[in-house]
């Protein structure tokens, strides 16, 4: 859900040299995600059992320093720093692109784009300090839920059912599904991620939009 719904990955595919290169990159990404995810999960479970009160942002660096040779730990920490900077830069670029080209105007000036990018980086940096940095996983989970509920099914519908769904239902799902997720996150105690509620509502809206148009075309 996260890979399909994140603009950073879409931009990487769109700027590829050709379609074959983009497809190869997508296949390699699909192969790498499962083993990296499983390894990260095992590290998290081990550190949770050993040090249950540790902040999430400290888990992986502490694991590297305590379980690897100092040289390997140093190389791993340097790699982690570089990947963190790269990820932050990519997400900031995606956010600034959405604000500059979708919310403001289609041809923003270079100064405007750079200013928006700078402001996004400043706000993101402020969130990483103090108590807010300790709930990084909760912020990340909420971000994934909001992004996935809004983008995933409408994007798939646009790719595989172009023009097949009434726009009213698409817009309704895009607007209401993140609201449902925020309400569920704040006021409900669920045994599962509220992302699935947002996805289910958005999918329901798309099905209703498709059925309405399909039935109307039959009647006509």
Which residues are CB-contacts of 180 (< 8 A; sequence separation ≥ 6)?
Answer: 149, 194, 197, 198, 201
Is the pTM value of this prediction over 0.75? Answer: no
Task: Give the model's pLDDT for residue 214.
Answer: 52
- pLDDT, averaged per 10 consecutive residues of the chain (220 residues), comes to 71 79 84 88 89 83 90 92 81 78 73 85 75 63 80 88 87 91 84 86 91 52
For 81-127, the DSSP string reads HHHHHHHHHHHHHHHHHIIIIIII-SS--HHHHHHHHHHHHHHHHHH
Tokens of 132: 């807010």
């Amino acid at each position: 859900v996260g890979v399909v719904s994140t603009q950073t990955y879409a931009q990487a595919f769109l700027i590829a040299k050709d379609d074959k290169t983009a497809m190869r990159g997508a296949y390699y990404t699909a192969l790498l995600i499962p083993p990296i995810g499983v390894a990260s999960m095992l590290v998290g479970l081990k550190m949770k059992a050993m040090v249950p009160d540790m902040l999430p942002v400290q888990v992986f660096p502490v694991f590297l320093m305590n379980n690897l040779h100092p040289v390997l730990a140093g190389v791993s920490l340097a790699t982690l720093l570089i990947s963190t900077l790269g990820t932050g830069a990519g997400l900031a670029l995606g956010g600034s692109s959405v604000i500059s080209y979708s919310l403001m105007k289609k041809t923003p000036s270079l100064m405007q784009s750079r200013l928006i990018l700078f402001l996004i980086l400043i706000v993101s940096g402020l969130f990483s300090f103090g108590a807010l940095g300790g709930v990084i996983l909760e912020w990340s989970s909420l971000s994934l839920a909001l992004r996935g509920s809004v983008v995933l099914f409408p994007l798939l519908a646009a790719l595989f059912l172009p023009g097949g769904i009434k726009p009213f239902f698409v817009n309704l799902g895009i607007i209401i599904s993140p609201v449902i997720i925020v309400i569920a996150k704040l006021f409900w105690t669920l045994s599962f991620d509220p992302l699935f509620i947002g996805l289910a509502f958005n999918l329901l809206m798309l099905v209703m939009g498709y059925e309405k148009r399909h039935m109307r075309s039959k009647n006509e």
